[in-house]
Amino acid sequence: MARKTTISIIKCDVGSLAGHHIVAKPLMTVGERHLKKAQEKGHINNYYVFNAGDDLELLMVHEKGEDDPKIHQIAFDAFMNASKKAQSLKLYGAGQDLLKTAFSGNIRGMGPGCAEMEFEERASDPIVVFAADKASSSAFNLPMFHIFADPFNTAGLVIDPQMAGGFKFDVLDMKKNRSVVLKCPEEMYELIALIGTTPRYTVARVWRARDDLVCATTSTTKLSLIAGKYVGKDDPVAIVRAQNGLPAVGEILAPFMHSYLVEGWMRGSHWGPTMPVGLKDSKCTVFDGPPRLVALGLQICDGQIAVDDEGKPLVSDLFEDPAFDMARREAQEYAANLRRMGEFEPARLSAETMEYTTLPKVLEKFEKRFKKA
Residue 299 · residue 120 · CB < 8 Å: no
At closest approach, how far in Å is the CB of 236 from ligand F6R? Answer: 12
Determine whether 230 is an active site residue.
Answer: yes
Span near Mg ion by CB under 5 A; candidates 80-88, 216-224, 227-235, 341-349: 227-235
# binding residues, Mg ion (CB under 5 A): 8
At closest approach, how far in Å is the CB of 23 from ligand F6R? Answer: 13
Amino acid, res. 216: A
Of the candidates 85, 267, 328, 348, which one interacts with ligand F6R according to CB under 6 A? 267
19 binds, among ligand F6R, Mg ion, none (CB under 5 to 8 A by kind): ligand F6R
| Binding-residue pattern over the window 75 to 114 for ligand F6R, x denoting contact by CB under 6 A | ------------------x---------------------
Q: Which of 248, 277, 28, 2 is nearest to 118 (CA)?
A: 2
Does residue number 21 form part of the binding site for ligand F6R (CB under 6 A)?
no
Determine whether 13 is an active site residue.
Answer: yes
| Binding-residue pattern over the window 33 to 72 for ligand F6R, x denoting contact by CB under 6 A | ----------------------------------------
Does residue number 234 form part of the binding site for ligand F6R (CB under 6 A)?
no
Of the candidates 143, 232, 273, 291, which one interacts with ligand F6R according to CB under 6 A? 232
Q: Which of 119, 91, 98, 120 is nearest to 21 (CA)?
A: 91
Of the candidates 13, 187, 263, 288, which one interacts with Mg ion according to CB under 5 A? 13
Q: How far is residue 212's CA from residue 82's CA, in Å, rounded to a whole number?
A: 38
Span near ligand F6R by CB under 6 A; candidates 189-197, 261-269, 302-310, 337-345: 261-269
Work out whether strand 46-52 and strand 304-305 pair parallel, antiparallel, or are unpaired: unpaired
Does residue number 227 form part of the binding site for ligand F6R (CB under 6 A)?
no
Residue placing its CB nearer to Mg ion in the complex, 131 or 249: 131
55 binds, among ligand F6R, Mg ion, none (CB under 5 to 8 A by kind): Mg ion
At closest approach, how far in Å is the CB of 24 from ligand F6R? Answer: 15
At closest approach, how far in Å is the CB of 265 from ligand F6R? Answer: 7
Of the candidates 233, 283, 328, 348, which one interacts with ligand F6R according to CB under 6 A? 233
Of the candidates 188, 192, 248, 266, which one interacts with ligand F6R according to CB under 6 A? 266
Which entry of 47, 48, 201, 230 is annotated as an active-site residue? Answer: 230
Which chain residues interact with Mg ion by CB under 5 A? 13, 20, 54-55, 93, 96, 133, 235
Mind telling me the catalytic residues? 13, 230, 233
Which chain residues interact with ligand F6R by CB under 6 A? 19-20, 93, 134, 232-233, 266-268, 288
